[in-house]
Every structure is written in C-alpha cells, then in structure tokens.
Amino acid sequence: MTETVSITTTINGESRTAEVEPRTLLVHLLRDTFGMTGTHIGCETGQCGACTVQMNGGAVKSCMVLAAQADGHQIATIEGVAPKGTLHPMQQAFWEEHGLQCGYCTPGVIMSSLALLVENPDPSEAEIRHALEGNICRCTGYHNIVIAVREAAVRMARGDEATSIR
Amino acid sequence: MHPYPFTYHRPTSIDDALTMLGEFGDSGKLLAGGHSLLPVMKLRLAQPEHLIDISGLAGLSGVRLDGDVVGIGALTTHHQLATDAILETSAGLLPEIARVVGDQQVRNRGTFGGALAHADPAADYPAGVLALNAEIVARGPNGERTIPIDDFFVDFLTSALEPDEILTSIRIPALAANTGYRYEKLQNPASGYAIVGVAAVVTLTADGKISAARVGVTGAGDMAYRPQAVENALVGSTPNEDSVKAAAESAVDGIELLSDIHAPADYRARVTKNLVRRAVLKAVERAGV
C-alpha cells in the first residue's frame, strides 16, 4: 500500500499537480507539499475550523478532505484572498475592529466569513454566528469577529478594494 | 493526524464500485463526503485497506420531484438539502433539519446518504426520515431493492444495508395538504450532535382532528425509533396542549435509554417527552387548519 495518487487541483486560480500518498489530507497537501502555511492546523479532528479553506466556493475543513478528493476541484486559501502586500476588505475589517487576538483561528474564520458573504452579502448578527459555528476562537469571545464580518459586508457591498498594508 | 495507510480507488460507475465492494469484502469501505468515515479512520478506530471514493459518481446527487415522491440522491450534501426549493415546498422538514446539522463546513461536504448509512444514534436525519416515512434505495450485486425506513435502522451504528450494497437514493412521499412538521433538538453545545432530537409530521382533517401522525426520535436510545404509542394516541384526537402533553408521556415506553457523560437516562427521558410535545404542537400549528 505504498502507491501514490496523482492530483491536479487549482489553488487560488493556479493549476498545481502533486503525487501523494492516498492518506494525505488536503491540509497537508497545502502546507507540506506546496508550502502554503497560511492554512493552520488546530484539532485535526474536524472540530475547530482553523484549517478552513474553500472548495468550489464552499467552506470546508481541509483536515476532513483527502488530498485525493481535491483532484479536479478549485481550492481557495487565505494566501489567495488579496494580492501580496495588501489586505482584502475582510482582513482590513478584522484588523480595524480587533477581530483577532492571537490570530491562530483567523485564516479559517476569514475563509468561512468570505463564503458566507458570497451566499448572503448582508447577514444579520445571528446569521454570522450560525455561519461561524464551525470555527472555534479561544481569544475573542467572537464579539469583535461578528462586528468585523458586519463591517466587511458593508465595505464589500460598497465595492472597497484591497488596501496596501504600508 | 493520519489514518493508517490504504489504497485509494475511484470507480467510474456504480457497477464499477459494486464490483470493487464485492472484490474487497470486509477490507473495503465506501467514501463519499468522508465526514463520518475520515474522523474514525484518523482516530484509528477503523482501518479499511481499500477506500472506494464514490464522491465523483454522476447521477447520485440532487433532488427530483417525480409525481408525489421526492427522490434525493445519496451524494446530495447537507447544504444542498438545506437550500433546495423542491424540498422546501414538498418535504420542508428535511431542510429544517439540514440547517442544524454540524456547521457550515460540515454541511458543504457531508452527504445525506452517507449520514444515513452511518446510522449514528445521535445524528439528526434519522428522526426526520422516520417521520417522513422515507424509503431507502440500495443497489447490490443482484440489482436494486427498496428498504422501508421502519426496517432501516437496526442497531447502534448499524443499518439494514448489506456490506456489498450501495445506498443510491432516498425517496420521500411529498407532504399531503394540511400537514405540518417540526424538528426540535437539544444540542450538545460542543459537538452539535443531538442529545435528543424529535421530528414530527402531523396531518389534520378539515375539522381539526389529527388524521395521521409520525414521530421520529434520535439520540435517546441505541438507534432512532418511532414512539408508536404517541402516534396512536394522537391520531383521531383534536389536539390541544393537554392532549399532546398526555400523548408525549409514552415517548420512551419500551426504549432502553442511553446514559452517558452528556445526559443520564432519566434526563433523556424527560427531554424526549418535552421535545415530542413541542414538536407535535408546532407541527399542528403549521398544519394550518
């Protein structure tokens, strides 16, 4: 059982290929094979949501998907949300509204929040909390995360662009 | 956290997958969304040598209305169920349940057929499919068969599916006129699983009597069940707070209740009776006569 699976997947718009052991999880494909460490590993048991990425536009936990199952699919990670050196309006809102403290859960929270706003560009507080049930944050108590997502919804609705971090 | 090594197979048709299942026997497992199987493999509670990934098979996903029967492909995700327009009008109980399964990420990957085949005693759907009088369609080496939902859940984590069968779709009779439904759930705040979940489907006559009632309970015992004494007490009655409360008293009759760190048996009993009462009353209200 040492054979490998070959995978071709589109990550942040770029086609990538790899040969991996079948038991490789998507999160390990991203971090170990492709060196994209923006996606974090938390519990590894599908509960914490730190490893959340988008697969074909929907938020998924990348520790709960085999790399082989990403073959032929579109993956979006935190690295792809804004050009290098800039912040997406969602990231900007998290910064300004103090939507993070240690930041460990933040890439996952942002990928879930962006998926929410595609489906529902003007979510209520309850809808934001429901959408983020799968992302555990041990610092913020969620209060400022919810405020940041609301703020991001306003900015994205009025068409804000990514901003330079300098 | 890696599972034990396995060989990965991607069949190109249901027949292809059935051949693999037959060939690998006990060492083969079907993989769809993976949200029941991968966790137990990572915790090394399961060690299949062969994973047969059916998640890419065509024709096993989506919702179709065929006369007065709704057909749901086994690979339909929780998210698709939660947002499907056909289901909303013809079997709204299912979207109501799907919206409280897991979380956003789980709903995007987990599948209806996979969840049912896993037969977790604390999963949400079993209550719903029992209340909706669903039928399970399975394909095996000898062709297709239909399993009435009342025969489907046979024990803890065990369904009536044979090891060489694939659950392909679920059929649900569209709800009749003057029918209301409700799913009530006491949720484990950490896992999101039901400590107890109750689904009710109630049909009223023009003069407000209950002409049909089906109730499904999940989380309370080793497997989901219908409290038939409750249903029998409801049918023919003109429902009100007191009559429904009295009927709900039989909700755990003859059931060996689970008792664990989340809830002792006597607590589960009280919760079950209360959720049955609430679910039936709300279903009656929604039946709208």
Last residue of a domain, one of A80, A105, A126: A80
Mutation target for B interface from A64, A74, A105, A132: give the one with most B CBs within 10 A: A64
pLDDT-derived band at B48, boundaries 50, 70, 90: very high
pLDDT digits (tens, 9 = 90+) for A53-77: 999 999 999 999 999 999 999 999 9
Instruction: Look at A133-142, B138-147, B189-198, B253-262 and tell me which has the smallest mean pLDDT.
Output: B189-198
Sign of the CA dihedral with B246 first, then B247, B253, and B259 last:
negative
* B44-72 per-residue burial string, b: 16 or more CB within 10 A, e: under 16: eeeebebbbbbbebeebbebeeeeeebbb
pLDDT in tens, A92-116: 999 999 999 999 999 999 999 999 9
Domain count, chain A: 2
The CATH number for A103's domain is 1.10.150.120
Q: Are strands B50-53 and B7-9 parallel, antiparallel or unpaired?
A: parallel
Question: A66 has which bridge partners?
Answer: A25
Q: Is the residue at A138 inside a domain? A: yes
- pLDDT at residue A165, as a whole number: 83
| Amino acid occupying residue B68 | D
> How many Å is the Cα radius of gyration of chain A?
16
pLDDT band, residue B49 (cuts 50/70/90): very high
Structure confidence at residue A2 (pLDDT): 58
* Chain B residues with beta carbon closer than 8 angstroms to that of A5: 8
Please, which residues 61-120 of chain A have a Cβ atom closer than 8 Å to chain B? 61, 63-66, 68-69, 72, 112, 115-116
End-to-end CA distance of chain A: 50
Q: What percent of chain B has pLDDT over 70?
A: 100
Which residue type sits at B70? Answer: V
B186 Cβ neighbours under 8 A, 6+ residues apart: B194, B195, B196, B197, B219, B271, B275
Q: What is the C-alpha separation between B204 and A3, in angstroms, rounded?
A: 60
CATH assignment of B179-287, given 3.40.50.300, 3.40.50.2300, 3.30.390.50, 3.90.1170.50?
3.30.390.50
Contact B211, B235 (CB under 8 A): yes
Whether residue A149 sits in one domain with residue A94 = yes
User: Do residues B6 and A22 touch, judged by C-beta distance below 8 A?
Assistant: yes
> Domain residue spans in chain B?
7-53, 63-173, 179-287
Q: Do A74 and A90 have their domain in common?
A: no
Q: CA A87 to CA A100: how far, in whole Å?
A: 15
Per-residue model confidence (pLDDT) at position B2 = 87
CA distance A148 to chain B (A): 19
Q: What order of strands is seen across the sheet that includes strand B194-204?
A: B179-187, B194-204, B210-218
Residues B215-224 have a mean pLDDT of 96
Residue A146 lies in a domain: yes
Asked if residues B268 and B217 have their Cβ atoms less than 8 Å apart, the reply is no
Report if residue A62 sits inside a domain. Answer: yes
User: What ipTM describes this predicted complex?
Assistant: 0.95
Query: HEC states along chain B?
Result: CCCCCCEEECCCCHHHHHHHHHHHHHHEEEECCCCCHHHHHHCCCCCCCEEEECCCCCCCCCEEEECCEEEEECCCEHHHHHHCHHHHHHCCHHHHHHCCCCCHHHHHHCEHHHHHHHCCCCCCHHHHHHHCCCEEEEEECCEEEEEEHHHCEEECCEECCCCCCEEEEEEEECCCCCEEEEEEEEECCCCCCEEEEEEEEEEECCCCCEEEEEEEEECCECCCECCHHHHHHHCCCCCCHHHHHHHHCCCCCCCCECCCCCCCHHHHHHHHHHHHHHHHHHHHHHHCC
Q: At what angle do helices B265-287 and B241-248 cross, to 10 degrees?
A: 140
CATH label of the domain that carries residue A39: 3.10.20.30
pLDDT (0 to 100) of residue B288: 84
pLDDT for position B116: 97
B7-53 and B179-287 share one fold: no
Is A165 within the bounds of a domain?
A: no
In a domain, A153, yes or no: yes
Mean pLDDT of chain B: 96
Cα Rg, chain B, nearest whole Å: 19
Q: What's the CATH number for B63-173? A: 3.30.465.10
Q: Do A68 and A13 belong to one domain?
A: yes
What is the sign, positive or negative, of the torsion defined by CA atoms of B151, B153, B156, B158?
positive
Q: pLDDT tens digit string along B222-242?
A: 999 999 999 999 999 999 999
Distance of residue B254 Cα from the nearest chain A Cα, in angstroms: 35
Same domain, A11 and A76: yes
Q: How many CB pairs under 8 A join A and B?
A: 88
Residues of A in contact with B102 (CB under 8 A): 134
What is the CATH code for B7-53?
Answer: 3.30.43.10
Instruction: Examine the domain organization and report whether A103 and A139 are in the same domain.
Output: yes
CB pair distance less than 8 Å for B108 and A60: yes
Does the structure show a pLDDT above 90 at A35?
yes
A75 and A98 both lie in a single domain = no
pLDDT tens, B19-44?
999 999 999 999 999 999 999 999 99
Q: Does A166 map to a domain?
A: no
Q: Tell me, yes or no, if A133 comes closer than 8 A to chain B by beta carbon.
A: yes
Residues A75 and A38 reside in one and the same domain: yes
CA B236 to chain centre: 27
- Chain A residues close to B192, C-beta within 8 Å: 133
Q: What is the pLDDT of residue A115?
A: 98
| Percent of chain A at pLDDT exceeding 70 | 98
pLDDT-above-90 percentage for chain A: 96
Asked if A40 reaches chain B (Cβ–Cβ under 8 Å), the answer is no
Comparing CB atoms, the residue among A2, A22, A60 nearest residue B105 is A60
Interchain CB distance below 8 Å, A45 and B1? yes
Tell me the C-alpha distance between B198 and B196, whole Å: 7
> What local confidence, expressed as pLDDT, does residue B68 receive?
96
Do A126 and A68 lie in one domain? The reply is: no
> Residue B169: how many CB atoms within 10 A of its CB?
25
Using the 3D structure, point to which of A45, A80, A115 is the last residue of a domain: A80
The tokens describing B91, both together, are: 């079997």
Q: What pLDDT, on a 0 to 100 scale, did the predictor assign at position B192?
A: 85
Domain encompassing residue A137: 86-159
Mind listing the pLDDT tens digit for each residue in B130-168? 999 999 999 999 999 999 999 999 999 999 999 999 999
**pLDDT, average across residues B185-202:** 93
- B10 to chain A: which residues are within 8 Å by CB? 68
Nearest to B120 by CA among B158, B150, B147: B158
Query: Do A97 and A112 reside in the same domain of the chain?
Result: yes
Q: What are phi and psi of A44, to 5 degrees?
A: 60, 15
DSSP strand pairing (A74-76 vs A5-11): parallel
Give the residue from A32, A57, A80 where a domain finishes.
A80
Read off the tokens for B169. Answer: 């779709």
